[in-house]
Structure 1
Amino acid sequence: MAFSNQTPTIVVLKEGTDTSQGKGQILTNINACLAIQDTLAPTLGPFGSDILIVGSNGKTTISNDGATILKLLDIVHPAAQMLVDISRSQDAEVGDGTTSVTILAGELLKEAKAFIEDGLSSHLITKGYRKACELCVEKINDLSVDIKKEDPEEFRSLLENCATTAVSSKLISQNSKFFTKMVVDSVLSLDSDLDEKLIGIKKVPGGSLEESLFINGVAFKKTFSYAGFEQQPKSFKSPKILCLNVELELKAEKDNAEVRVGQVKDYQAIVDAEWQIIFDKLEHISNSGANIVLSKLPIGDLATQYFADRNIFCAGRVNSEDMERVIKAVGGHTQSTCSNIKSSDLGSCETFDEVQIGGERFNLFQGCPEAKTCTLILRGGAEQVIAEVERSLHDAIMIVKRAVSHHTIVAGGGAIEMELSKYLRDYSKTIAGKMQLIIGAFAKALEVIPRQLCENAGFDAIELLNKLRSAHAKGEKWYGIDFQLENIGNNMKSFIWEPSLVKTNAIESATEAATLLLSVDETIKNNEQEDAQPMSRGRGAY
């Protein structure tokens, strides 16, 4: 009797499941990330090019902002999705450096690829990268220069230099002087918690970029209005402002009501009562002394005409975000009832005007005593241009905000990366074994930033990088790429500055992404529609 020694095949996963594992899987993940890096690399720096992205709905976006590009790309590879996540986290935490962090993560993986192919354990690589990252963060903290806040003028000029560096790679770099002043003014107008959501940005197509306006207060587009609105005054000096969350329409009084009447005169009494209720509301508002009435809910034609007859300006359906900023700027409180309005509930400002900006009419509240908010009204020839200006200003605002709150800076233009690279190379020579090679590889990866800056600007990258290595070896720690000289120079003296937080966050995020991807050595992907989410196994999973 013959017995088979073969073990029967045990099916654990559904048929059609794709399983890839081992060294080949790690290399596949690295190659996917390098494809993303190649896409973003040409956009880095002052001479970086823009990318035109056409969405599935036909909407076009022109941008060189890393986070925006990655968000709009339809990336399906699960490993490459990691780079999208670190770029978003950099954008949320710091606001700038989204391209740098993605390129750096890709370069760390490229350096690791050679080690993986040679059979080195990914355990060792991740250990070496983490050690190198710690050393970099410590070195940045040692090197960073503290901004002195004592002298307001000097502090302001320092913030403007940081903003100038942030916009140097953007569409608005030619108008950087105009926009950096606007950015610093807007951040300094906020209170101590520096909530950038209180900087309102409104876009009005038409006109040149330098026709953009900074309003130290609140501006919002004229709301929907009824008959009688044009009879209202459109300009006030020192007005009293009442903010409501009340609907001032006649129909509002009979909502959800069921009334049974026996005689016609009873019906007339109900109609009269409805009119009386809204007239009582309007009378309370008029008696409060308010010159301007704003409401989140509609203000109907009856109320509009009533206010026009009494020289009161009104605006209904005000966006809740705009309303919140009005209250921050002028003081007072939002009222949910029209009775018992006290003078302390009213806000005030120096001037109120309704003005025409391009094809739109705007309500401007200026000279606000409580001004903890401001509004930027952006102009430009095309919608895509204005959208890119908004993204550029967002990055600059976040950079200035971080400089105010953390007030330590380092030189940009690849200077800090070259100094860290030199420091890691020197450190690697003091240790033995494979760790020396891995930390040396991290040092080499850091050079990708100045190299890419040179390539995008059309400079000779090999020559300038050799000059930079030589300068840093002689102790010139702030030497980086100087685009004005088309050579190397002292970027600290040239006012090419960045908050140190940008660099520490970028290096930490890039290292985290690289080590996580190196620790994943198996992907299990189910082709069934309901189980379409890929699973990963390794020392880390994504």
Structure 2
Amino acid sequence: MSMLQPSILLLREGTDASQGRAQVVSNINACLAIVDIVKTTLGPRGMDKLIYDDKKATISNDGATIMGLLDIVHPAAKTLVDIARSQDSEVGDGTTSVVVLAGELLKEAKSYIDEGVHPQTIIRAFRKALSFSLSYLETHSISIADKKKEELRKVLVNCARTTLNSKLISGHKDFFAEMAVDAVMALDEDLNMDLIGVKKVPGGSMQDSFLVDGVAFKKTFSYAGFEQQKKKFVNPKILLLNVELELKAERENAEIRLTDPDQYVPIVEAEWEIIYSKLEKCVECGANIVLSRLPIGDLATQYFADRGMFCAGRVPEEDIRRVAKATGGSVQSTVEDIIPTVIGSCDLFEERQVGHERYNIFTGCPVAKTATVILRGGAEQFIEEADRSLHDAIMVVRRAIQHSTIVGGGGAIEMQLSRALKDYSKTIHGKAQLMVASFARALEVIPRQVADNAGFDSTDILNRLRREHSLGTVWYGVDIDKEGIIDTIESFVWEPTLVKKNAIESACEAAALILSVDETVRNPESEQPPDAPVGPPGQRVSQAGMAGLMGGGLRQLKGKGGK
């Protein structure tokens, strides 16, 4: 008679452990529910999402923004948030594409999982398809490295226009594409994005936005005497300081013991002598404009005003750093022995009214390694979305300059890759052939979703695209304007190759990661409270609420912090 084996308790009581094939499918379903939320934002005719919490509402169709604002609690679905953020920080555009593509790869893999294929078999095949795709992109992209400056500028403008085509400000894409290219081309060879400033001023129209070839920042706190200062200088000398030009009240933090009341007067006089000595040295160095990170008080403001000078204290560090870069000046931590080489200059300084704000603007800078965009618009939410859109366009232009290769947009490169992968799959033996072909089918989701979001017959569009690509016409994609197909290279719908390479690579790695997880262990201490809302209209997207979300139709999403 066999003895019963005693049970061994490895995890504390109440711990929930799900494992096996059912867990993999559950994780895939969770990710597909997230994809259903963002996929309608893809393309030039994509819809916007309204995400709100107790503090503010955000309207956006930027994939990274939407994914970041959703409070996703499902551990596997959080992977999609990570790849959207990664795509945004690396290339700035394609954040929705990478999430949609990852979801489609998981959808293709789900059928094999249901049939009992091991996830590692699928992962190996997907990585083989990824390797082929990256090599194909490397050899079939169009180089722009040898183009002259005028031709290069046209290419960059077209790349920026393609990016802005799917944004809320697409009606002004020509205006902002030029602005994005001008901003990037004003930078050094290292193309440091921190040197492009964006200032948002509510009011006016989007066309009232303008680019300053230099630096602009909002007027700082005004002290007495500020209005008497001169507000416009031609060829001024600019002194940048990290010095406080203000009388300090030592009596608040220091103790002085006097034996004779007459000793108090020399102490006060010494304090005034110190501040006047600093101010005289600022005047003697020949500067017309004095900017400081630290406060410039009433006495100094009036002192400079009496001498026809302009000053501004408490200038944000980011702005004073960009002023130094543009004007050729250096920030000084003392006013002693100021030499001419540390003083900056520009062609024109003026204080200009922009909407209801006043801005200090430096233009015609001799070094000009920085630029500032002044964004205008009616609603604050609209300006915020314009800022995100312009950031995407600037990042795309920057990457196009750095990597100097482009491909056709509008789903053209995805269709071409899909055709090449299908041909490649026929050379592979075994189960991997089916999975590489599935990878090829998954790539078609981009043109299909672009057509669907525009209200077109996506089946007809894809059939026509497949036919053209099978005939060898490489760059045919979706024509949004005429509900058909078009040669995207000839119609200037261009994208940097890096955007597509990074999107395909990130989507494949995310799919592989999710497929490789076959067990989820939930610690009871970390479980969400029972009263936490699940699914719409609540903000927490959990495994239990996935089925409700997959019904679609979600347009208003509760963001982080919602009750």
| TM-score past 0.5 threshold | yes
- In structure 1, the gaps of 5 or more residues are 533-542
Letter of the structure 2 residue corresponding to residue 40 of structure 1: V
Instruction: Report the Cα distance in structure 2 between the residues aligned to 1:159 and 1:331, rounded to whole angstroms.
Output: 28
**Is 2:355 aligned against 1:373?**
no
User: Does the CA contact (< 8 Å) of 1:254 and 1:274 recur in 2?
Assistant: no
Partner of 2:47: 49
Partner of 1:516: 513
Instruction: Compare 251-260 and 473-482 and name the one that shifted more.
Output: 251-260
- Counterpart mapping for 1:338-487 below 5 A: 338-487=335-484
Partner of 1:324: 321
Q: What SS class does the counterpart of residue 290 from structure 2 fall into?
A: strand
Instruction: Report the Cα distance in structure 1 between the residues aligned to 2:255 and 2:336, rounded to whole angstroms.
Output: 25
Label 1:247 to 1:21 Cα distance change in 2 as closer, same or farther (>3 A): same
CA RMSD of superposed structures (Å): 1.3
Letter of the structure 1 residue corresponding to residue 17 of structure 2: T
Q: What SS class does the counterpart of residue 480 from structure 1 fall into?
A: strand
Label 1:105 to 1:529 Cα distance change in 2 as closer, same or farther (>3 A): closer
Percent of matched pairs sharing the same residue: 60
1:149-203 deviations in Å (ceiling 9; x for gaps): 4411111001000000000000111111111110000000000000111100000
1:509-528 deviations in Å (ceiling 9; x for gaps): 00000001111101111021
User: Does the CA contact (< 8 Å) of 2:44 and 2:166 recur in 1?
Assistant: yes
Q: What SS class does the counterpart of residue 222 from structure 2 fall into?
A: coil
Aligned residues: 529
Label 1:459 to 1:438 Cα distance change in 2 as closer, same or farther (>3 A): same
Instruction: Report the Cα distance in structure 2 between the residues aligned to 1:100 and 1:79, rounded to whole angstroms.
Output: 19
User: Does the CA contact (< 8 Å) of 2:145 and 2:405 recur in 1?
Assistant: no
- Counterpart mapping for 1:54-73 below 5 A: 54-55=52-53, 57-73=54-70
User: Does the CA contact (< 8 Å) of 1:231 and 1:308 recur in 2?
Assistant: yes
Instruction: Compare 424-433 and 379-388 and name the one that shifted more.
Output: 424-433
Letter of the structure 1 residue corresponding to residue 274 of structure 2: I
- In structure 2, the gaps of 5 or more residues are 530-563
Label 1:149 to 1:348 Cα distance change in 2 as closer, same or farther (>3 A): farther
Partner of 2:501: 504
Instruction: Give the number of the structure with larger relative contact order, counting CA–CA contacts within 8 Å between residues 6 or more apart.
Output: 2
Letter of the structure 2 residue corresponding to residue 437 of structure 1: L
Partner of 1:241: 238
**Is 2:81 aligned against 1:84?**
yes
User: Does the CA contact (< 8 Å) of 2:410 and 2:477 recur in 1?
Assistant: yes
- Counterpart mapping for 1:76-475 below 5 A: 76-251=73-248, 256-475=253-472
Q: What SS class does the counterpart of residue 182 from structure 2 fall into?
A: helix
User: Does the CA contact (< 8 Å) of 2:35 and 2:99 recur in 1?
Assistant: yes
Question: 1:141 Cα deviation (Å)?
Answer: 0.9
Partner of 2:533: none
Partner of 1:539: none
1:113-158 deviations in Å (ceiling 9; x for gaps): 0000000011100000000000000111111000144411111001
Instruction: Report the Cα distance in structure 2 between the residues aligned to 1:149 and 1:396, rounded to whole angstroms.
Output: 22
User: Does the CA contact (< 8 Å) of 1:415 and 1:491 recur in 2?
Assistant: yes
Q: TM-score, normalising length from structure 1?
A: 0.96
1:233-261 deviations in Å (ceiling 9; x for gaps): 00000000000001111016667433211
Letter of the structure 2 residue corresponding to residue 290 of structure 1: A
Instruction: Report the Cα distance in structure 2 between the residues aligned to 1:224 and 1:287, rounded to whole angstroms.
Output: 25
Instruction: Compare 337-346 and 77-86 and name the one that shifted more.
Output: 337-346
Instruction: Report the Cα distance in structure 2 between the residues aligned to 1:464 and 1:323, rounded to whole angstroms.
Output: 53
Question: 1:433 Cα deviation (Å)?
Answer: 1.3
Instruction: Report the Cα distance in structure 2 between the residues aligned to 1:149 and 1:302, rounded to whole angstroms.
Output: 58
Instruction: Report the Cα distance in structure 1 between the residues aligned to 2:147 and 2:469, rounded to whole angstroms.
Output: 32
Partner of 1:8: 6
Instruction: Report the Cα distance in structure 1 between the residues aligned to 2:528 and 2:70, rounded to whole angstroms.
Output: 23
1:495-536 deviations in Å (ceiling 9; x for gaps): 00000000000000000000011111011110214999xxxx
Instruction: Report the Cα distance in structure 2 between the residues aligned to 1:282 and 1:327, rounded to whole angstroms.
Output: 21
Partner of 1:537: none
